[in-house]
Every structure is written in structure tokens, then in C-alpha cells.
């Protein structure tokens, strides 16, 4: 499911119309409508629309994607398949945070 499909699905789950979203975000209805129909919105427009849906945009590392999807579907517990710190080592720093090293 595309990101724009997720916006529509979330809006419908909240029982909001496209006009409701325009009112919640300060956009004009046509602007929000274009977003759902596959327009090419700017990042700040996506963030504004997410706020209107009581949601957040998040980057998920590919190696965690399936675990996050399973968690969202309720198929696994909150920590199964997810590290306590999923970002550790992401930038090649396997020894942990700089502040942790300074404390030792």
C-alpha cells in the first residue's frame, strides 16, 4: 500500500471527509484531494497532512520493516524482532552512543 493510500485509509478510519482534512490542516480541499490522488506533495505537506490525521511520518530501516509491519498488524509482541535500540549501529557505530563511551 502506498503512502498516499495510507493517508486515505487513515482518514476514512477517522471518519473524516477531505473537507474535514482541509479544515484540520489549513489546506484547501483540492490540495488535500490531490495528495490522496497521487500528486507529488512536498515533505512539509505530507507532515501537515499527517498531523491532521493524528499520525507521524517515520523512516524505518529496511531490516526492521517486516518486524514493524507485524507489530502494527498485532502479529507479534512489541519487542519481538525489534532491538531495544533499533538505530544502534545504523551509521556503522557498533560500539554505541558517543555519550555512553564518555561515561565509561
Q: What are phi and psi of 87, to 5 degrees?
A: -90, -15
- Give the pLDDT score at 28: 94
pLDDT, averaged in runs of 10, over the chain (104 residues): 90 96 95 91 94 92 87 70 62 56 50
Distance CA 73, CA 54 (A): 18
- Give the pLDDT score at 89: 67
User: How far, in Å, are 17, 76, 82, 103, 104 from residue 95 at the CA level?
Assistant: 49, 28, 18, 13, 12
Would you say the pTM of this structure is higher than 0.85? no
- Give the pLDDT score at 72: 79
Distance CA 70, CA 11 (A): 22
Amino acid at each position: 500500500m502506498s503512502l498516499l493510500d495510507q493517508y486515505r485509509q487513515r482518514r476514512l478510519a477517522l471518519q473524516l471527509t477531505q473537507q474535514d482534512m482541509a479544515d484540520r490542516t489549513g489546506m484547501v480541499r483540492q490540495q488535500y484531494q490531490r495528495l490522496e490522488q497521487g500528486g507529488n506533495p512536498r515533505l512539509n505537506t505530507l507532515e501537515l497532512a499527517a498531523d491532521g490525521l493524528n499520525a507521524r511520518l517515520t523512516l524505518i530501516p529496511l531490516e526492521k520493516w517486516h518486524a514493524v509491519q507485524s507489530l502494527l498488524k498485532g502479529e507479534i509482541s512489541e519487542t519481538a524482532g525489534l532491538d531495544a535500540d533499533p538505530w544502534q549501529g545504523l551509521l556503522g557505530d557498533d560500539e554505541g552512543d558517543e555519550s555512553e563511551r564518555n561515561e565509561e
